[in-house]
Amino acid sequence: MTGITGGTPSMLPAWGGGAVPRSEPLLAVEDLHVEFATRQGAVKAVNGVDYTLEAGETLAVLGESGSGKSVTAQAIMGILDTPPARVTRGRILFRGTDLLGLSEENRARVRGRRIAMIFQDALSALNPVFTVGWQIGEMFRVHQGASRRDAERRAVELMDRVRIPGAARRLHDYPHQFSGGMRQRIMIAMAVALEPELLIADEPTTALDVTVQAQIMELLAEIQRESGMGMILITHDLGVVADAADKIAVMYGGRIVEHALVHDAYRAPAHPYTRGLLDSIPRIDRKGRELHAITGLPPNLLDMPPGCSFAPRCPYRQGDCAVEAPPLHRIGPTRGSACHYWREVLDGSHG
């Protein structure tokens, strides 16, 4: 099987029996719902998310904090804390097999080996009491039964691959002895150690300066080209998305409110939330123009408003928006918008 170093098919769960058809996407998330039980009630963090990803493709998932981006990723990885989290509906198909239907043992075989994740806070994600070499080498010791010496050798190779200077000398250093950018490279080394087929990068450039951000994104793109893996890039930085992704999914209130190819969404957004996000960032072609903020606050996931969840903040809203929640209208072979008035948004007639 592709994307696994040193593994054999007999070590893995069955994946539907036989060869996977070319038409089968690498990943398909279908009608995913996730809730968190709290004393105040059920927090509906993810409300019917659908998206697909092909091998070698990058999907950027955009949205404000609390929109459901990271919760969806954690559901794919199978690392939601249950309880309080609970997947109440939906499917997560990886190479045609529903991950939600696997036993925890089989799910653990997939995690790290075939699907890996880079977390947004490297300092918190790395264990402060173990050296970085030990933590990278653990991937080979646990998943492949490598000896300590072999695991260290391969850890040095990975540190070299992600361009950590003096990798052999720094093998026994601890996370706090590295800069933020170097820690993020260590996280990348751990994530790609077993050559996964799918990599989820959750805000991989958060709190890094612009130069280091560009280096990290270039490194991820290089590894993706070499391996052919699919990548989900979770971010709120639209500047990063423009250069890194093939397509986007914009989330709001736990839903996908727009999906499109990147160049289509940037040229003419079809949802007022996407338009608001784009209008709030500086652009070279709009030098001197005032930046527009999205007024109001995200919805309370404990008490979602009736109708469209974006309606209270939307400059395009009309009476029916507060009553009827819009479906995800298909507006082309590669586009969808959850807005009653997507035509007006596309041409900007009510901005």
Query: Is the pLDDT confidence value at 4 over 80?
Result: no
d(CA 258, CA 251): 7
Confidence of residue 2 (pLDDT cuts 50, 70, 90): very low
DSSP E strand boundaries for 17-108: 27-38, 41-53, 58-62, 85-94, 97-98
Record the pTM.
Answer: 0.88
Predicted local distance difference test score (pLDDT) of residue 11: 32
From the number of C-beta atoms within 10 Å of its C-beta (0-12, 13-18, 19+), residue 175 rates as buried
Strand partners, 28: 52, 93
Strand partners, 251: 256
Predicted local distance difference test score (pLDDT) of residue 209: 85
Alpha helices (H) in 128-179, listed in sequence order: 132-144, 148-161, 167-170
Lowest mean pLDDT among 9-18, 108-117, 149-158, 307-316: 9-18
Coil vs helix vs strand at 89: strand
Confidence of residue 336 (pLDDT cuts 50, 70, 90): very high
Predicted local distance difference test score (pLDDT) of residue 1: 31
Q: Which has more confidence, 162 or 287?
A: 162
Closest to 143 in 3D by CA, of 8, 26, 1, 27 = 8
Segment 120-145 mean pLDDT: 92
pLDDT, tens digit, 9 for 90 and up, residues 134-180: 999 999 998 899 999 999 999 999 999 999 999 999 999 999 999 99
Predicted local distance difference test score (pLDDT) of residue 242: 85
Predicted local distance difference test score (pLDDT) of residue 349: 59
Predicted local distance difference test score (pLDDT) of residue 16: 35
Confidence of residue 240 (pLDDT cuts 50, 70, 90): confident
Segment 60-83 mean pLDDT: 94
Percent of the chain with pLDDT over 70: 91
Query: Is the pLDDT confidence value at 289 over 90?
Result: no
Running DSSP on this structure, what letter comes out for residue 84? Answer: T
Predicted local distance difference test score (pLDDT) of residue 348: 77
CA distance readout (Å), 286 to 48, 210, 240: 36, 21, 18
Segment 288-309 mean pLDDT: 86
User: Across all residues in the chain, what is the average pLDDT?
Assistant: 88
Residue 269 φ then ψ, to 5°: -60, 150
Side chain identity at residue 197, one-letter code? E
Give the CATH number of domain 54-78+104-114+198-347; options: 2.170.190.11, 3.40.50.300, 1.20.1600.10, 3.50.50.60: 3.40.50.300
Spell out the domain ranges in the chain. 54-78+104-114+198-347, 122-195
From the number of C-beta atoms within 10 Å of its C-beta (0-12, 13-18, 19+), residue 255 rates as buried
